[in-house]
């Protein structure tokens, strides 16, 4: 029997969508799962978005265009998070009702969130749906954290016992286990979830020629997430001040304006400006250095491929500080704040890149997440055993 998994995600940043698609690929490859991807902000509750009600941009657009593209990682970011929290508080009841009705229509066996802040709504909606089931087995709930660590208690994991927490790092797992009611249902993967394409690229790197690259030159990839960043223009100029033989790939994502600005620059080194592409795994597989913001997804992908990283701590979002701590503690790269620091570190990183690339960090998340979902699916109770919307969930041995 094929099981239906409903994955709830957001397009605020690229990491949640990437994790949702990675999960879909991993699960559907088994032949045992069918996965529906649901962005409730677009498909179900766009009318409940206070950002869109008060202005011309949705909450997702504000995050992507203001926080990420323009590097508002300080007070503006915290104010945005406060606005989101207020949004969920004001519209929790109608959002719960709408999502519960949607679950009744699509009948998932597992509802799984890969986004923060709103998981109480998801779980309350799932509880309502559980109460309406009259046949089969009761659906399970799960939250898969896409950050390296939880920013504050309850941001990802509500303290309740009717769902499972899936974590890619020990820091995240430790945070989840501190929630007493949740602790028995915490599961760990060997790394943050990365797309299967990165595992394939680690086994078989792309040929330089297929990417338009010179195999005789070092490759530097610059990536600031799917939304790009104005900071990439500054770095392009600074790299021109450091004599080097590297070729630089600017992965600009959906930021066409940044791609155009860099493409118009007269740079003394080979520069390849790339818009949104599905070949990021291929570019990173041939890279000798990764430069970018400390996003947990992109850094995990680079580390899995063994690519040293040079991270921009000036644009680190509050939830990304844990990524910086890990990279520096494991000596897998460096972090810069000013452009002066960047130039010095870039020069040193290029010198180090002349040696052999370090081995990639083992990442078993692709297989681990399937095993975890198998166990969660096996724990579903028959409807007759349920006792209302918060029916007991069988105890499972935590990883």
Per-residue model confidence as pLDDT tens digits over 210-234: 999 999 999 999 999 888 899 999 9
Location of structure tokens 């309740």: 160
- The terminus-to-terminus CA distance of the chain in angstroms comes to 26
CA angle 178, 180, 182 (to 5 degrees): 90
Question: Is-contact 146 16, C-beta < 8 A?
Answer: yes
Question: What domains does the chain contain, in order, with CATH numbers?
Answer: 3-45+91-194+365-385 (3.40.50.2300), 197-352 (3.40.50.2000)
Please report which residue ranges of 264-381 form alpha helices under DSSP H.
280-285, 296-304, 321-329, 339-352, 365-378
Contact of 227 with 265, CB cutoff 8 Å: no
Q: Which pTM does this prediction carry?
A: 0.91
Alpha-carbon gap, residue 52 to 59, rounded angstroms = 7
Q: What is the pLDDT of residues 24-73, one digit of tens each?
A: 999 999 999 999 999 999 999 999 999 999 888 999 999 988 888 777 88
Instruction: Give yes or no for a contact between 364 and 191, defined as CB atoms under 8 angstroms apart.
Output: yes
3-state secondary structure (DSSP) of residue 19: helix
Measured at the alpha carbon of residue 173, what is the angle toward residues 170 and 179, in degrees to the nearest 5?
Answer: 145
Per-residue pLDDT at 74: 85
Per-residue tokens: 28: 């559907």
Tens-place pLDDT, residues 235-279 = 999 999 999 999 999 999 989 999 999 999 999 999 999 999 999
Residue-level pLDDT at 389: 41
What are the tokens at 200?
Answer: 């394939």
Number of neighbours of residue 242 by Cβ within 10 angstroms: 14
> For 151-165, what is each residue's pLDDT tens digit?
999 999 999 999 999
């Amino acid at each position: 029997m094929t099981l239906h998994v409903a994955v709830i995600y957001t397009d605020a940043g690229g990491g949640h969508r990437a994790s949702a698609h990675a999960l879909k690929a991993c699960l559907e490859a088994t032949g045992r799962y069918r996965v529906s991807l649901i962005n409730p902000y677009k498909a179900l509750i766009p009318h409940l978005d206070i950002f869109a009600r008060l202005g011309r941009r949705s909450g997702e657009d504000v995050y992507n265009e203001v926080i990420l593209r323009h590097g508002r990682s300080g007070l503006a970011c915290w104010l945005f998070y406060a606005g989101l929290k207020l949004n969920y508080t004001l519209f929790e009841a109608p959002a719960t009702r709408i999502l519960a009705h949607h679950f009744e229509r699509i009948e998932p066996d597992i509802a799984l969130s890969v986004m923060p802040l709103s998981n109480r709504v998801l779980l309350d909606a799932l509880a309502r749906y559980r109460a309406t089931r009259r046949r089969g087995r009761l659906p399970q709930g799960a939250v898969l954290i896409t950050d390296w660590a939880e920013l504050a208690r309850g941001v990802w994991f509500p303290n309740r016992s009717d769902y499972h927490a899936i974590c890619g790092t020990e820091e995240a797992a430790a945070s989840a286990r501190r929630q007493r009611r949740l602790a028995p249902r915490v599961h760990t993967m060997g790394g943050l979830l990365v797309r299967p394409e990165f595992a394939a690229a680690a086994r078989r790197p792309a040929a330089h020629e297929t990417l338009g690259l010179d195999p005789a030159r070092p490759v530097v990839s610059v990536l600031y997430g799917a939304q790009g960043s104005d900071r990439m223009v500054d770095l392009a100029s600074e790299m021109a001040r450091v004599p080097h033989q590297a070729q630089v790939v600017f992965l600009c994502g959906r930021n066409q304006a940044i791609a155009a600005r860099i493409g118009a620059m007269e740079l003394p080194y080979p520069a390849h400006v790339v818009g949104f592409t599905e070949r990021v795994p291929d570019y990173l597989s041939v890279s000798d250095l990764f430069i970018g913001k400390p996003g947990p997804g992109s850094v995990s992908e680079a580390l899995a491929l063994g690519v040293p990283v040079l991270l921009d701590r000036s644009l680190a979002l509050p939830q990304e500080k844990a990524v910086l701590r890990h990279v520096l503690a494991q000596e897998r790269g460096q972090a810069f704040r000013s452009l002066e620091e960047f130039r010095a570190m870039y020069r040193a990183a290029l010198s180090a890149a002349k040696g052999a690339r370090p081995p990639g960090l083992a990442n078993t998340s692709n297989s681990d997440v399937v095993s975890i979902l198998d166990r969660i699916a096996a724990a579903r109770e028959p409807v007759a055993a349920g006792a209302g919307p918060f029916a007991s969930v069988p105890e499972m041995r935590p990883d």
